[in-house]
Amino acid sequence: MALKGQSFVLMAIIFSSIMILLAVNLNFHTFHDDGSTIRDFYNQGLSQMPGIFNQALEENSSTQNAKQSLYSYNRYLDRETQTRGLDYNTVNIFLLPEKGKLTVINYQDRSETIRVDGDINFEEEVLGKQYYTKDFGSGEVEITVSLEDTGVSESFNASSPRIFTYMQMSSSSENWVNHEVK
């Protein structure tokens, strides 16, 4: 009789252990992010940046309004990436040719050396989470923007408001980096 009781207890322990392992394994696969959700979030964040910029200009075509809207959106993306355990870095450079203004927003934890060549020429180190505005004569400009510390460069023409965005999101195992001009 005692042997039957011991066998029953042993079988119950083995069965419980198997059930716990299955539950943990199922839970891991159900909630484990394979990167596609984060990649989608990254792509959405990058693709919405020009819309945020254009909407800010529609509301009020000032450099200050565009800068505040982009900075707020970057702050939102930064908070969201932190909740996902990611690092977030971005640089926005926008031109308002009719106002003769070029503005750099460095939303990184580190400084970035910005070099602009072409119809506008300057090199400036912009500290992390800071911005820099450069005045130039109004009108169409052809420039090459280089993020010296990041190693990104892009040439473009600006006869109307344009935005250049460099964005990076990274985790301990993956890194998403891209830039675009709109």
From first to last of the 182 residues of the chain, give the pLDDT tens digit. 566 667 777 676 776 667 665 555 544 433 445 556 778 889 999 999 999 999 999 999 899 999 999 999 999 999 999 998 899 999 999 999 999 999 999 999 999 999 999 999 999 999 999 999 999 888 889 999 999 999 999 999 988 999 999 999 998 888 899 999 99
User: For residue 169, what are the CA distances in angstroms to 20, 88, 106, 144, 179?
Assistant: 35, 5, 15, 24, 12
DSSP structural state of residue 132: E
Is 2 inside a domain boundary?
A: no
Non-local CB neighbours of 19 within 8 Å, separated by 6+ positions: none
The whole-number pLDDT of residue 137 equals 85
Report the Cα–Cα distance between both ends of the chain, in Å, rounded. 80
To the question of pTM greater than 0.85 for the whole model, the response is no
In the numeric block, which tokens belong to residue 22?
Answer: 């299955």
Q: Which residue type, as a one-letter code, is found at position 170? A: S
Tally of domains in the chain: 1
Non-local CB neighbours of 129 within 8 Å, separated by 6+ positions: 106, 107, 108, 109
Give Rg (Cα) of the chain: 25
Assess contact for 111 and 126: CB atoms under 8 A.
Answer: yes
Instruction: State the residue range of the domain holding 86.
Output: 36-181
The whole-number pLDDT of residue 84 equals 86
The whole-number pLDDT of residue 39 equals 84
The whole-number pLDDT of residue 171 equals 86
The whole-number pLDDT of residue 26 equals 46
How far apart are the C-alpha atoms of 109 and 44, rounded to whole Å?
Answer: 22
| Cα torsion angle, 51, 133, 78, 87, sign | positive
Is 17 inside a domain boundary?
A: no
The whole-number pLDDT of residue 32 equals 43
